[in-house]
Amino acid sequence: MERLQKILANAGVASRRKCEELILSGKVVVNDEVVTTLGVKADPATDVITVNGREITQSDKVYAAFYKPKAVITSMSDPEGRKTVRDFMGGLRTRVYPVGRLDYDTEGLLILTNDGELANKLMHPRHHVEKTYHVTVKGVPHGDNLDKLKKGIKLEDGVTLPAEIEYHDVNVETNTATISITITEGRNRQVRRMFEAIGHSVIRLKRVRFGNITLQGLVRGKHRILTKSEVNELQQSIKTSRRS
């Protein structure tokens, strides 16, 4: 027996949080009985579970890496008709969902899967899974300001955890700098806000690594299926981060 929202997430219905919303809104039925409270358990092997009238089945787990271009919504649908991640997932028979988000104006690596349990762990702040970004900013931050980011800087929603910082390039003609930053949190627009806090607005932002997965071998707008060893390493990175 498992919690209903976990069963739905593992079946690729949606993220764990979205599945909870579906339950609370009365759209989930177990053995002809509408469920509207969280905490209900079911057996996916024997119980008949439907969402919006459609019976769910336990799909094979799929894990993909996607190079999201700018001007693409990290969602499976958009009421405004803008391009979404789903528009680039042609060829996948199983519906997958993004692990976390990248802003509309941010490009780079996204992990997508129908494994709700793994997605939830990768997104949970207690596991401290590393994400690396290449950031191009206006001006050239001094060492003292970068030290603030390394140690943790105060934002409106609290002090950030320590970050790893490395210079990549300084362009004297355009007065810009490109910096690599590795963080272990996933706050809303966190990297942009961190650099704004030291007085340098972000011109371009690209995520190049999520855990052990990188953009290597990917071009904008394309995805690839992760290998079994890559998935195992992702799972191991969660265990390692939790101990540290």
- Residue 97: domain span: 63-113+219-243
The reply to whether 147 belongs to the active site is: no
Q: What is the pLDDT of residues 104-117, one digit of tens each?
A: 999 999 999 988 88
Q: pLDDT tens digits for 180-226?
A: 999 999 899 999 999 999 999 999 999 999 999 999 989 999 999 99
200 and 232 both lie in a single domain: no
Domain assignment present for 162: yes
Q: Does residue 203 lie in a domain region?
A: yes
- Which one of 60, 78, 103, 144 is the catalytic residue? 103
**Is residue 128 predicted with pLDDT exceeding 90?**
no
Q: What is the CATH number of the domain that holds 91?
A: 3.30.70.580
> How many structural domains comprise the chain?
3
Q: Which domain CATH number covers 137?
A: 3.30.70.1560
Residue 35 sits in a domain whose CATH number is 3.10.290.10
Q: What is the largest CA-CA distance in the chain?
A: 68
Quick one: DSSP state of residue 185? Answer: -
Going by their DSSP bridges, the two strands 158-159 and 63-68 should be labelled as unpaired
State the Rg of the chain over Cα.
20
